[in-house]
Each structure stands twice: as C-alpha cells, then as structure tokens.
Structure 1
Amino acid sequence: MDAVAGPKARTNRAAALHRRAAATAIAAAGILDDTRPVPADQHRQYALADRLRAAAAALAPGWAGAALETLAVTTPAGEGPPPFVRVGTAAPLDDARFPALVPLLGTGHLTVDADARDPRVAGLLRAVLLRLLAAAPAGALLVRAVDAAGDTLAPFTALADAGLLPPPAVDVAGLRAVLTEAEQWVAPGSSGRRRHDRTLLLVIAALPELTGPTDLARVEALAEQGRAAGLHLVVAGWPPAGPYAGRAPLPQATALAIRTAYALLGDPPGGSFAGPGADPPGGLNSPVFVEADPPAELVDAVCRRLAAQVEAGSRLALTDLLPSSDEELWTAGSVDGLSTTVGDAGGRPVPLGFTELTPHWLVSGRSGAGRSTFLTTALLGLAARYGPDELALHLVDLGPGESFVEFLQTERDRSWIPQVRGAAMAADREYVLDLFDELAAEVRRREEAGRRAGGQRFAELRQHQVMPRIVSVLDNLPLLFAERDRLAAEAASRLDALARGGRAYGVHLVLAGEGDLGLGSRTDRDSVLGQFPVRVALPGGGAVLEPTNDSAAGLPVGSAIVNTAGGLGGPRGATRGHERMVRFPDPQEHADTVEELRHRLWSARPEGATPPVVFAGYARPLLRNDPRHRAALAGQAPGPAALLGRAVDVHRST
C-alpha cells in the first residue's frame, strides 16, 4: 500500500507520527518534572549547595555526616546519639553537591521503598547503621534487626556479645519476637515521656515472606509511638510489595525512593525541604545518590572498638565484690540467711543470697556465656564472708569441665577453700542421687532436732548446735535428665522433695546449666520451679525467666539478669525492684586475687580441718554408707579424708 501511496499520503503519515512523538515527549517531560528538579539559575544552585554543605557539617559532624573515606576508626563519637544522619549526596548539578541528611534519632524514622535484596539498599543500610553506631557513645544505641535477606548485617557480628546488636531475626517468628521487645520498650509507664537512658533502633532490612497485615500494623503502631520512648525505625521495603503495596507511608518517617540511577528523598516528619508553595511540592528538589557500601574492614574495626569500650566501661575487679584485704574474714553470721555481692548495676553493688524466702537459685546460660564465672564469683564472696561454722559447700559438675577447680587442692598448691566439704568433677547420675539422699537425711535430722527441742526453727536450733547453712551447687544439670529414664524420674522426685524441705532448715540449692535446665516450664507454686524464686539469666539463658520476659535478650558476656521473683517480667525500661542487669568480673582475669584469698581462707581454717574429697564420675563413692560424709553434711569436723572411690587431684588451669 505504501509502495503505491503518493507523496501527499506519505507526508501526512509522517506528520501524524511526528505529532504522536511530540505528544509522548511532552508527557514524558511532565513525568520527569515530577521527579527531577526544575532547571534553576546555576549561580543560585552553587550558592545554595555551599550553604547546605556548611549546614550539614554543623548538623552532622564526624561519623554522622562526613564522607566515610575521610574517617578513621579512631574518629571520636559525639556526646549522644546523632539527631541527623547522612543517607547520600544530593546533586542538583554535577559540580554542586551537598550531603543529604535525614532527621532520625530523637525525631522520627526512615523508610526505603526497596529492601536489602537490592545491593544498593543493603549498602545504604550498612552505611547508615555504621554512622549511627560510631557517632553515639559506646552502649548508648542498641539495635534490634530483622533481615529475611539473611546476611545484610553480617559485618556487624562483633557487636553481638556486647549486647548492642544480637543476631538478626530471619523469619516471621523472629520478627514477632523483635516487635514484642520493641513494644515493651514503648509500653506506657511515665506519662508518655522518654524513660530510657539509651536509644533502641529497630532495623528491618527485609520483611519475611509470611509477614501479614497484623505484623505490619504493629510496625505502624511502633512508628507512631516510638519517638517519645526513644525507639526509632529504619525500614527497608516499605510499603511492602505485593498485596500490601498500597499501604500508607510509615508515620513520622522520612521516605527514600530508589530509582534507577538515583533516589528521591521525601519530606522529614513535620516539615518540608521545599517550603510552602514550592513547585514541585514535597521532598528534596534534587536527585540523591545513596551512600555506598562501607568497607567491611572499617565496619568490623569500628564494631570491635565499640564492643571493647562497652566491656571496659563496665568491667569490674573481683576485689570490688569481696571484703577488702584489711577486713577481718568470716565476720558475717548465717542465722537469718546468706548474702554476697554478685555484681554491679550502674555503679551500685547488687546483693544476692539464700533465705527462707529466696532459698534456691536457677542459673542458665549458653556455653561460653560465663556460667562458671558467675558461680565462682558468688561462691568466693560467700566463702570470704561466712566461716566453716556458718557455711558448708558441696560442688558438683556433671559435665566434663572443671567448674570449681579454684576451690580445691592441686599438686602444686595444697591450699583449699575450707567451706568445701565435697566436690565432684564429671559426676555421674548415681553420685547426684546419693548426694540428694544425704542432703535430704540432713534436712530430716534438723527437722527432728527441732521437734525434740519443742518445735524450734532453724534459727533457734543454731543457738545450741553447730549447724551451718548448706549450699549445694550442681552445674550442667540437664545431663541429669537427658535420658528421661528411671534414674531421671528418681532424680526429679528427690530434687523436688529436697527443694521443698530444705528451705526451712538451711539447705539451699543452686542448679545451673543451659536452657530450661531440663526442669520444664511450669512456674506455679506447686511445681519444683516454684521453689526457685531466684533466677539468674546469662547470655542465652532466658529460658529460666517467664516466657514474656525477654530482658536477657542481647546480654553481653560478663553480664546477667538477676531476678528474685521467679522470672517475672515487666515493661522494658520501667523500674523493676525484683530484677537487675548486673556486670560481674571474671576470676580468671584476677588469678592473683583468687590465690591470695584462697590462702587467707586456708590459713584461717579450723584446727583439724581436712581438704575436701574430690570424686570423678568413673569412681563414684558410696556416700550413703560413709559416716564421714554425713559428718561433713552436718558441719562436724570429719576424720582423715580417705577416698572411698578413686580420688582425683584436679589441676587448675593457668
């Protein structure tokens, strides 16, 4: 048809195509005008960029806003969490650029319309998080994260043990746990005013696949309530893609929209970059090139520095928790109970002990969390305050470790802690059953003595009998119940009876291990757990607290939650008289102090005192038929310490 068309027809068609192209160009120009800045006088642009660079340097100095390549690991932090943070570089002209800042901590939140599966967004999140953490004093900013992409925040791993950034949640269950913690942080409790001396930042790098509308509503509620309580959000992938793409912008958030070569920055909460009457309205009237991914080695170095500063800032010496060297030993009496300092909370010593109201402890923490360290610290404090007539210790480790070696003799050092009556390393279950039987027999003996004396209680009996309080410590307790067989059932039954009967007669238990210690989750008064109001949760040990109490989440090594109400929780940030987060020292870092104390205690031992017998699991003594062991339980001076099983001389680690 075209081949036979005349010149006029071809001209008309060309004109129509030209008009169509012109219309398309005009429409495209309109769209671009909505997304790109309108050309302006270049001299004004240069002058404005100069002013904005100066303002950015004042608003976000150092880590908060300077170019990362100009910063060193040693660049100091500011006096508090930075109120502004750099998210990129605005470029109204190629040679007229300035830092693009958003108000965040103390003001609002930040959203990005793509999530961390986009490498540019992942790099941006790492850069923003690095800036915020490095700009704040160590420990002033806590981070909780959700990352369905998996490894966005992997360079920040060094912060986990310091409690600043636990491993991110990766699924819906983890998301909901993180949201619950954030909701506890903002729970009402002080007329809506900020209640925290620290700031919590919730980073959502990528929402899990099964995130539902209820979860999204919780995120929105946190954004609405968080600012007043010191909670701020950085959410990538908002609004979510798919069926929730039409969801409203996050309340009080600055929005960043990722485009092919640049990004568009929306207005901050409660304000406008452009000002009233600006054309186009809303947002920064300039393309923004988002922050590049920071070098992994810089992130790691900064994180290690922060972790070291957190640890050093709260590090205690063992001498801080013990009686001073010029104080007289063994001046405390145990008639009304035992008490020692187990740690420091905000510069104040935290005492913990054994009374009829707080008779037994549960101590839980993952491997390497400092469980043995905590137990050793507490026991040394007790041994320094209460003499052998006031305190008797029985120490058992069911695991292969050497939890209590600092209390025992070695070939090189024949001193020992005089309060220790018996110890077992790698103890088998039969040993523990026999020990439970002997402790129960001692409870019955004291009960009968009280009956004969006309119904006297423990405190009255002590007026005319040597009757120390007994503390029996069992570490790695889950091994006792691991097989769930007849022996495990017998152990559970005897433990239950001993916990109930011992509290009134000065026989106390400390059960330690990982997870829920094999004791289950019942916490009512009728369960064995109801007999253990004191709960100590080390890192990874939150299972001994109530399920709704997540105060142990993200604990740094060297710290613990000490709860004296059976693990009962409460709103995060609110004052809890029954719960403290404490820091405690590592005795291995103070070996000279431990050795000096052991020698002082050993030199002060009663005349005729003999060292504790140490048993190994493969050579169990027959405690049931040993009169010397019964004498030790009763606090009487035993005869020569002969081993009924094979004695093991445990060597202290150096």
Structure 2
Amino acid sequence: MASHRNALVAAVRQELAEARGAARAVLAAAESARGEAQNRRRLIREAYSTCLHQLAEARDTARRDIQRRFQYETAKLAGNVRRVAALSAVGAAGAPWRLWAPSEPERGGRPGLLRIGALTLDDATGLPALVPFLDAAHLELTGPAPVVDGVITGVLLRALGSTRAGDVQLTVYDPEHLGGTLAPFAPLGVSFVGPGGLGPMLDELVEYICRVNETVLAGGDHAAAPRAEPWRVIVLLADAATAEELTNGQRAQLDRIARTGVACGVHLIVRGLRLTDHPTVVRIEAGEQSATCNVTGDLEIRLDPPPPADRVASFCRSTAERMRAGPPPARLADLSPATFWTESSAEGLLAPIGDATDGTLIDVPLGDDPPHALIGGPSGSGKTNLIYAWLAALATRYGPAELALYLLDFKEGVSFARYVPGPRDPSWLPQVRLAGINVNGDREFGLAMLRHLGEELRARAQAAKRHDASKLAELRAEDPAGSWPRIVAVIDEFQVLLGGRDAVADEAVTLLEDLARRGRSQGIHLILASQDVSGIEALWGRTGLVGQFTLRIALPKARRILAENNLAAAVIPRHHAVVNTEAGAPGANVVVRLPDAGDRLVWRTLQRRLWRMRPDGCEEPRLFDGDAVPRLPASCRPSGVLPDAGSPVGSSPGAVLGERIDVAARPARLRLGRMPGRNLAVLGTRTDEACDVLAAAALSLAAQGPAHFSVVCLDPDAGGAAARLVAELPSADWYDELPELAATDIPHYVLGYALDAGADQATLRRLLTDGPEQRTHVLGWWRSVSRLRDSLGGPAGRLDPIGAWVALDVQGADLTPLYPQPGGPAWYPRTRRALFFDRSVHRTPEVIIPYEVNSDHT
C-alpha cells in the first residue's frame, strides 16, 4: 500500500514536473515572442525615425538646392542685366554721379538707355535701373514734385552729356516757377515758355512734326534716318491748375505729339499731366526715395539722388562754349566706313579726309576727273597728317584687289615706315606695294619708282588695246580675271626729286608728265605734296604737267597751289585745308577740318585689323630705307660644298657688286666672260666699302661653281678683311705679290687690295690684258684714278683693260679718263653709295649700294 502510494506520488510529481516544464516552456516561448514583438516594434520605430530623418534631410537639401539654384539664376540674370546695361548705357548715360563725366558718342551711333537709379532684387542689389528716351520714348512722371524734379534733372543731364553739343534742343514749360526749376540749363539756350504759351508751343510742335514727316522722313523713321536736325526735348512741369485749364484742343495736340513725336525726334518729359496710352510712353511713379516704372515691371527702383547743382551748371557752361565753337573735328576712326573693303574702285576712288564745320564728312575724289592731286603747305602745316588721314580712309574702303599704294617720302624722316613690317610691329598695310623712306639723298630710287609705274602703264595700255577698252572700268569689265587695282603713288616733298638741272630731274619730269597725261585712263593716280611749287626749275615751261593736277589741296599759308586770285589758303586756321577740284579756281573751294591722324597707337590698331583681313598671297611691301645698309644675300655666298670639277660652268659668271637702287632690290652684277677688258677696278679711299665690294664679288663668284682665288693685299688696313675673305672662300691662296698668268681649267680671280701700293706693274698689265681670254680676271682696288693710270703706264697708257669700274669717293670729273663722254659723269660721292659702270652694258653709270660683307664694323 505504501509502495502504491509512493508510486502515485512519484507519478503526480512527474506530471507536475512536466507541467511545470511545459509551463516554463510556454512562458519562455511567450517571453521570447514578447521580446521579438518588442524588437520588431523597435526596428519599425527606428526605421520610421530614419525615414523621417532622411525625409527631413532631403527636404532641407532640396530647399538648399532650390535656394542655391535660385541664387545662381538670380546672379546669372543680374550679370546679364549688368552686361546689357553696360552696352545700353555707355559713359555719361549710365555712370553713377560720383564717376560721371560727359562722353562723346561714336559718329553715326544711336542713343541708348538712361540711368535713373538702381533695382532692388534680393541679393542682386545695385543693378542699374534704365529707361529709354531719345529716339525711343516720352517720360511721364508722377510723385512728390521735389523728387520728380530731381529725376528730370538727372535724365536731362545724362541725355545732354551723352550726345554732341547742340544735338539736343531743350524747351521748358514751367508756369509755377517760371523756369527756375531747371535754371542751371539756361546757358544751353533753353527756351522757357510762360503760363500762357502752352497752346502756341503745342501747335508749333505739331507743325514741326508735320514738316519732318514731309521733308525729312518721307514715310521713314527718324531713328533709322541720318540725323538732319537736333532732337527736341520738351519738359512740361504742369501744376493742378494747368491740368484743369487744359482745353480739348490742347489735349488733342498733346495726344498727337505723344503718338507721333518720337519718330520725328520730339520727346516729352511730363510732370502733372497724363499722356495718352501709347507704346512710346514710359510712366514712372516716384515715392520719397523709390519708384516703379512700366519698363522694369514690379521691381522697385531706388532712385539716384539729383546731380549736384554745381556739376550741372559747370557742364552747361562748358557745353555752351563748345556750341559756340562748333562741333569738334572728325576723328581718324570717323573716316572709316562701318564695313571695311566693300567699295569697288572700277569707276574711281572716293574717300573723306575730314569734315565741314557742321560735322559732315567731306569726300575727295580720284578718278577720271580729277585724276591727280597736288598738296601744298609750308613746313609744319600738316601735309603728312593730311596724307595719313587720306590713306586711312582709302585703305578701309578699298581692299588690296582694288587699291595699290606706292609711297615715297623725300623728307629726312620715316613718315611711311609705319605701313611696312618693323622690328616691333610685324604688320603692314595690305594695300602698300612699296614704301621709300630717308630717300632725300637717293633721288635715283624715286626715278626707279617712276620707271616701274611707267612699265605698269605700258602693260595696262597693251591689255586695254587687246580688249578694246578705253579706260580702267572697261578693262576690268572685259578682263574680270585680271588684277587691275587702281594705283595711287604718293610722293611727299616731290620737289627734291625734280631739284637741279641734271639727268635725274629731266627723266623724272618726263616720266611724271607721261604718267599724269595717260595715267587717268589706266587707273594710275599721282598725289604730289610740296611746300612750294613755284621754284621747281624742272617744271618751267611744262604747264601741261601741272595742269593735269586738277585736284588741289591747300593747307594754311600754302603758295601757288590755288589760283593766283584765290586767297582762301591765307585765311584758314591751323588743322584746316582748302579742297578744290577745279585746278584752284576761286569758286570751287571747300574748307575741310582735318582729324589728328598722327597717333601711332590708333594707326597701329587700325593697321593690325586690316592686316588680319589680308587675303592669302598678299605679299609684304618692299621697303627702301636710304639709311639702311643691305647685307649680302645668303644666296650669293658659297655653300661650302663645291660642285664636281666636271660639272658644266657658265661661261660668263656674274660678280655681285652691290644692290641696285630700284623697286625690286636686285643685285648689280658684272659679267666676267672670256672677252678683253673683263676686269674690275674699285676706285676710292674708303677702305671698308672697297673691301666689301671685293668680298661681295668674290663670294658671289664662288657660289656659282668651281673657281680659284688669288688674294693679294698691299694695304695693312685691309688685311683683316682680306684674311676673313680667304677663310670663307672654298679655294683661295694668299700672295704677297701678284701671281703670274697661267693656264687654268676653272676661272681664276685675282683679288688685289691697294694695287697702287707697289704691285709689279708688268705682271699686272699682263693679267689685265691677256688674263680674261684665259679665264683669269683681276678685281682690284686703286685709291684714285690717277694711280690706276700709273699702274697702266701713266698718261699715255691705255685704260681699255678696265672694262668696268666702281667709284666710291671719287668726283665725277676725275672719272673722265674712264668715261666715254667728255667731262665725266654727274657724280657727287655719298656715304655707302657707289657709281657702277660697265662699258659693255651701260650707256650711263648707275648708282649702287655696296653690300656690307666683311667690314671691320660688321
């Protein structure tokens, strides 16, 4: 029994333990489930919190981006507004009062906008508030009278300060203060209208608008038409009584002016009256310090303070003085057209050189009539300045295919050097083909230019004959593929070229007469400038030459340019000129004010613009500088590699002696063939130049093929130059005395320095007489003609072995023994100039410039 009871108790205990275990398990599971739920709820709360946080961040980021985008767009818009304002309100039209100063507009430019204050737009404060006025709008202002009057004063000052003196005519109707409101503007000749004058004033304005419509515009627009009359600005400072007393007729006239006035240059500035609704009416509503305007919409304008009264008075006084003096002369830029190189020169050339006293540009023609121009005026009267202005106007209208310029200045200066490439400025004027400077001592170059123009005239005449054309316009029409620009040759101080009674003057005046007579039909025009033509001997008896120059331009105090009974040049002031297209007849005078065309910076800017426009193939102009010494060209020096001995060699190699004074800058050559007398004598005491002539000859001969040189130097002063030459020649020997004549397979050249200083005379005569036939030639230097004669046997000796000579500082009369005509050539020695004569080629000697080769100072 007891065991049964124990077993029952154990079973109950077991069940109780299992129940407890199950309960614990259930409790544990419940606890676990409760923890998971709590954890889930926590996770959800955290996720929600994270989402809210991210949403907040996204919202804040979006707000910041929007704000940044708004700020960016605002700044961009503000920048655009500032740029537009800078372009639309230039100078006096838009500058703040602390920086304000009157500014002259560009010739032909149109008025822009006028500043009245600054816009207030969040961070874009300080943007200029601009309103249209001249050629664009009427202004109607409302608000406190002192504020409105300050705005009107500012608008008027800006409008007057950004236009030329006299371009704005001001009328003020001020019945309350009788003109005192705008009294500082009185020096400008303001018309003040009293209380009873409103009606007549409106009637007169309507009549004026009708007249402009009929006679000036003819159905066009005043803003687009060239300005023929000043703008008329009418300020109506009406009070309450005026507005009430305005009759129906006066209101109708005011409305007509508001509708039609802007197109005719009539503008209203109204305070106290209501203008009719029209697109040209700008309304400004002013408060104490701010305003709104129908141009700027809802944007608030912070008005500028009125301009200082002393500044207004000072400006009006100075403007009144300028009005009494007349408009300022044109500037160099005013002579240029809006678009470059659009004109054709087929029928002629037309370009302004200045303006009249009313500001109208004065055009000067060159063509069939008048064909040529003569400019005169004493030293300092402005001839060069006039030529600069004329060339600028021509070069901006006619491109290189339409115009070719040849410029020659016989003054001691570099007037035309600016038109060619220089060490500091590589640009050049594309129309210039040739320029000569510092040629007052080189009349031969002027003659060379006239010869070149004569050849061009003959070429054009032959082309015209082939195409059956009588003038340039017809030739260009018949031969459109040809290059036939009009040629303008400018010769400043041309009297130097014609000065004296010599062969140069005689040939020059003959060429000038032919060019002046026949050049008009072939498009070749001459512009000659001089201080006085009355004393030019070469022109005596050649009235036909001067008569071809029917275009006369006389500067102040010019003599003999105009007709004898035409005294206009004696009374014109400085910086003026008389232009006369009737050969100086008194009834054909036009007085021109000349611009300042000498500013190098202005010219350089213009020239670089034209230079960048030059077409492909536009070649640099030829510059002849009389003060420059040319260097021996590289092509005239031996390359250092001789051709094979068996290579064919020309029978007559040419020795280069110097540069010819001609348009093409060609070298002067002496042909050394196997003929008697093919030797060269260099004459004179200038050692450096004599050594350079011999060196140029030797080096150029060495560059043409195999040759041998024998150098004999009998003057210690020339030893350095001779030694340098021997070192540079490919095949040369140094001798202390003349070598004997010997047979040779290649040319043999004997270079003798100071052969009058003890050379073996018998050997020298054999070399000179028999050498050329055996391909041996002597190129020697003698210090005088008499010493050369002594070398050849004295007074009885024959000079035939010397077939060519170069004279340095030897007078022309001393060259008589070597010259085929009695008395010798007309030669007056000049530094770095030589007279070259080859009796087998020349009828008369030619002047050359010895190259700089191996002189001690090189």
Question: Normalising by the residue count of structure 2, what TM-score does the alignment of the two structures yield?
Answer: 0.35
- Structure with the bigger RCO (C-alpha within 8 Å, sep 6+) is 1
Question: Normalising by the residue count of structure 1, what TM-score does the alignment of the two structures yield?
Answer: 0.45
